[in-house]
Structure 1
Amino acid sequence: MSQTRHFASDNYASVHPEVLAAIAAVDDGHEPAYGADAATAAFDEAVATVFGADAVGYPVFNGTGANVVSLMALSPRWGGVVASEHAHINVDENGAPERVGGLKILPVPAPDGRLSPASLERWIGDLGDEHRAQPLVLSVTQSTELGTVYSLDAMRALTDAAHAAGMRVHLDGARIANAAAALDVSLAEACAGADVLSFGGTKNGAMGAEAVVVLAPDLHEPLTAALPHLRKATMQLGSKMRYTSAQLTALLTSVDHAGVPLWKRNASHANAMAARLRAALEPLAADGVLRFTQPTEANAVFVELPRTLAASLRETFRFYDWQPGTSADTVEVRLMCAWDTQAEDCDRLAALAASAGTSDASR
């Protein structure tokens, strides 16, 4: 099996040993199905401890499922969801919120992935207009699809503006751990102002585990009545839920000798590797061989490369094209670091880029 660690996605990464150990620990004998098991009860306790006593979590299989279930819980069928033009729910879920949830996505330009209170003005005027999808939910991604991170003040201003307009706030937290680690705050602090969270585990060391977490106390009663049915109807209810719950609990509660939880250790490492990769590529940017297109604030590096250089690097590493570059012979790519990315991986990619870039320049 190849030992190359790629930069295409943190989904490429292996499962963290502590997560595998947690799965093995619950793989013993019979347990009640569909969440009536001891491992899911432990997850419930972990959610209340980490996110607050009023928080309640519902394990699901994947991020798209978490997002669709969350949005369906927050909006009636005539509702619309305001989101960044780059939002995963808008461009990478094959229309699932609209096809499955019946909810119109209302995109807003966001050059660096982040929305602002002014972003809501594009759609707020449609409230009350029976001819328009009603902008009843704001979906925010933290960290964003472009690898940027909302500050706590920016997040609070945005969520306050949404609530003032009568909207509910969904937080797509596929990489919430990376954002919290970058801000050096708790998961609860990183979610402040959100009503419902799609908590991501798979990109942060889990085998395949996400969760819908209800954060707003006033939604506890209505959503605990609705979410079990929504989860089942959208095919996100796991029969052997103990294996999903155990993964999430490990991320939230497994600590090292210094008391640092696994979610933070994994995310901090991925962020540090992205910072290292960017630093290793900086000389090439200074020489004009490549151009960084976004700040590196979490675990992603966005960079515009000559297409010939991108092709050369792909002989060794996988990574995704993001969009065409500023000229026909360039392309913007995303280089994503994960919990298991190593310093030598970053240094090797940078060295290959320097070698290939120098060769191109000498032609």
Structure 2
Amino acid sequence: MNPPKTDARRRHDPESRGFASDNYAGVHPEVLAALALANGGHQVSYGEDAYTEHLQQVIRSHFGATAEAFPVFNGTGANVVALQALTDRWGAVICAESAHIHTDECGAPEHVAGLKLLTVPTPDGKLTPELIDRQAFGFEDEHRAMPQAVSITQNTELGTVYSPDEIRALCDHAHRLGMKVHLDGARIANAAAALDVPMRAFTNAAGVDILSFGGTKNGALLGEAVVVLTPDGVPRMKHLRKLSMQLASKMRFVAVQLEALLARDLWLRNARHANAMAARLAEGAAQVPGVEILHPVQANAVFARLPHAAAERLQQRHRFYFWDEAAGDVRWMCAFDTTEGDVDAFLVALKEEMAR
């Protein structure tokens, strides 16, 4: 066979790095290699392929013998499918005000899943049993959406990490109230790396019912998975996934990426590196006069406050986002491919702009 030809051209600088999002990073070479291995020939579509079948074994090695994975296209899709699985048409989900499902999914849980989000303010992005109780009432009141699930994010949108004991206490409390627990694990690998525990320690072992497992932020091209941890309590997942437009026809190319991350330790290597780069960045930034680190840096995110004008100038040199522009709060994210040189160059630029 002749080598493939294409008119595509590289249209970016492959050495360019930013601190705006771990989604900016490319695909890890080991994941690209896995995609190439899965290519060629014919495989049954819609998840009946050998790669998706084998992924179940890999998932169970991390999340227990009853875990079942349902690959989907993206994180919002994973969250919407998972939350639908836990709620009736009159149901509601309790979550933090900062939760991604509330702030960054364009109303998809409400619009697509038809549920209501009951939010709770929390300074560090983490829920507690006491905070859940602020919204966990009116279960039999037909005038109020019924609280049926709690959704937490690990690690949180503010970069903080729940301990396994914190999640266990939260799950026990929710279950006593008749609710189930969903964990948004867009950065679950970073949380496990920060805690230095297996992912099962704060998911199935802690009582979580269903999980959105993230791959894209940790080196995948695309694709996440809904992982059902308590199958008896979450029926008809195949139908929910299709109904929500998250069933990939060529699913082998999603499944093989998750296998590449999870079969050995690539997921952990990538997460540990990203976390280490964030720690390096936070340590350096904290030494710059006028820069305040806002939250404990426990994973791969750094939240800081600095003068608005300095932040705007710095953005022209290294991309990142404001978190709260009025307050001057910014978020700096590190990824699996962030280097020490990238961090050090950013710190030099930060010092220069703060000195102006």
- Shorter-chain TM band: over 0.9
Matched, 1:280 2:284: yes
Aligned counterparts of 1:352 and 1:21: Cα–Cα separation in 2: 35
Counterpart position of 1:345: 342
Counterpart position of 2:316: 315
Amino acid in structure 2 at the alignment position of 1:127: F
Specify the SS of the correspondent of 1:23: helix
Counterpart position of 1:124: 136
Offset at 1:55? Answer: 0.4
Matching residue within 156, 162, 184 for 2:168: 156
Matching residue within 76, 79, 83 for 2:95: 83
Matching residue within 320, 329, 332 for 1:332: 329
Counterpart position of 2:304: 303
Offset at 1:218? Answer: 3.3
Offset at 1:339? Answer: 0.6
Counterpart position of 1:46: 58
Amino acid in structure 2 at the alignment position of 1:305: L
Counterpart position of 1:258: none
Q: Which structure 1 residue ranges, 4+ long, deviate > 2 Å from structure 2?
A: none
Specify the SS of the correspondent of 1:295: coil
Specify the SS of the correspondent of 2:319: coil
Matches within 5 A, 1:5-20: 5-20=17-32
Question: 1:28-78 CA deviation, whole Å, 9 max, x = no partner?
Answer: 201110011111111111112211110000000000000000000111010
Offset at 1:283? Answer: 1.1
Does the aligned pair in 2 maintain the 1:179–1:190 contact within 8 Å? no
Matched, 1:177 2:184: no
Amino acid in structure 1 at the alignment position of 2:207: G
Does the aligned pair in 2 maintain the 1:319–1:335 contact within 8 Å? yes
Counterpart position of 1:209: 223
Does the aligned pair in 2 maintain the 1:4–1:317 contact within 8 Å? no
Matched, 1:354 2:351: yes
Matching residue within 234, 238, 249 for 2:259: 249
Aligned counterparts of 1:311 and 1:4: Cα–Cα separation in 2: 19
Aligned counterparts of 2:274 and 2:202: Cα–Cα separation in 1: 17
Counterpart position of 2:82: 70
Q: How many residues align?
A: 342
Matches within 5 A, 1:87-106: 87-106=99-118
Counterpart position of 1:27: 39
Q: Give the alignment's TM-score, normalised by structure 2.
A: 0.94
Identity %: 54
Specify the SS of the correspondent of 1:123: coil
Unaligned runs of 5+ in 2: 1-11
Specify the SS of the correspondent of 1:124: coil
Specify the SS of the correspondent of 2:347: helix
Aligned counterparts of 1:52 and 1:127: Cα–Cα separation in 2: 32
Amino acid in structure 2 at the alignment position of 1:202: T
Counterpart position of 2:241: 231
Specify the SS of the correspondent of 1:122: coil
Offset at 1:133? Answer: 0.5
Does the aligned pair in 1 maintain the 2:275–2:334 contact within 8 Å? yes
Counterpart position of 1:263: 267
Offset at 1:158? Answer: 1.0
Question: 1:167-198 CA deviation, whole Å, 9 max, x = no partner?
Answer: 10000000011001100011111313210000
Does the aligned pair in 2 maintain the 1:176–1:190 contact within 8 Å? no
Offset at 1:149? Answer: 0.2
